[in-house]
Amino acid sequence: MDMERTTQHRKNNPWGWVLVGVAYGLVLRVLFGLPPVSGTYNGVMSAAFLFGAPVVAGALTVHGARDEGRSIWFAIFGPWLTVALMLLGSAVTLLEGSICIALMSPVFLASGSVGGLLMALVHRASRYANTNVSVIAVLPLLILGVETRSPLIEKEMEVRMSVLIEASAERVWSEILDARDISPDELTLSLTHFIGVPRPVEGINRQTPDGEIRFSKWERGVSFEGLVTERRENESIRWEYRFGDHSFPKGSMDDHVAIGGRFFDLSDTTFNLRPLPGNHTELEIVAHYRVSSSINFYAIPASRVLGHDFVSTILQLYKSRSEASQLTVTDQNQQPGRREPLSRSES
């Protein structure tokens, strides 16, 4: 009798089932990270993985504690431990980078709670717990079978934000066209950069045989170009982005969220300057981008939050630089025999 109880205790060891859930999630991550076998296979950017894997992990967590008399709160929050260990394992094994882990975390935690609640309800309604675990374990594959029959849903998005700058339009224009040596200290606290998106370090416009080109550099060796398609001096400028095979070196960003990739692309950016009384300027940035996924109901809000966060950071950069430059010029002009120096774009 004692041996039977010991065996039963081992089978229902909650910690053992937590580890089973973690291992299950990591194995799925490896499988979903394999090269696509069809054009409709979305890998880790699929609902089958992003929702299916944590649902199963949460269900396994609650299943392992079925003899412990856990409350409904455990069914909701208990799976978070398994999910957190899954994400930690993905980071340690370099299966995922910081950007994807940050974006996946809300979905994984919520889905883990759903899985835990479902398993708790199943235990109350049925005696065949082990059979129910087997059924839930194949859930990601069932979702994948449905998902691969549907094409990616493309959505064109726009970010439009503005800021009031205490500087002339000419001064702001100069700072936009020649933004050199951008230090991290100049950039405001940003969610986008906190989760691992490289920070901009340089943006310079130059005339080339192909026309005016915007050359941009970010941290970790990221570099890309923008072909200027519209320009009104001191009023507005627009460029369309061109990303090459070497724009994002390996490791600079997570492959499946890299700009210019299958799931996300940045199309163009426009800077509009509106002179205001008192030597002030309203600077507006309008950016267009594309989101393509089978989980747009989550990807679109997430991209909107990050897009506004990034543009807000850029606006504050040009605001602080323009106002500092304007103040320097004003101080110089107040000195006898001094005149305003040429702007960078004029020199």
Boundary residue ending a domain (85, 113, 147): 147
- Quick one: average pLDDT of 144-172? 90
Boundary residue ending a domain (97, 131, 147): 147
Residue 340 lies in a domain: no
CA distance 331 to 343: 15
Residues 182 and 124 in one domain: no
For residue 325, the domain's CATH number is 3.30.530.20
Count: domains in the chain? 2
Residues 115 and 162 in one domain: no
- In DSSP notation, 37-96 reads SSTT--GGGSHHHHTHHHHHHHHHHHHHTTTTT--HHHHHHTHHHHHHHHHHHHHHTTSS
Residues 261 and 233 in one domain: yes
Q: What is the model's pLDDT at position 7?
A: 42
Return the closest-CA partner of residue 161 out of 52, 30, 319.
Answer: 319
Residues 43 and 180 in one domain: no
Residues 158 and 119 in one domain: no
Domain that holds residue 25: 2-147
pLDDT at 255 over 80: no
Residue 192 lies in a domain: yes
Residues 227 and 84 in one domain: no
Least confident of 137-141, 180-184, 209-213: 137-141
Provide the pLDDT confidence category of residue 243 given band limits of 50, 70 and 90. very high
pLDDT at 291 over 90: yes
pLDDT at 6 over 70: no
Provide the pLDDT confidence category of residue 3 given band limits of 50, 70 and 90. very low
Q: What is the model's pLDDT at position 335?
A: 60
Tens of pLDDT, residues 172-191: 999 999 999 999 999 998 99
Angle 241-303-239 from CA coordinates, rounded to 5°: 15
Residue 343 lies in a domain: no
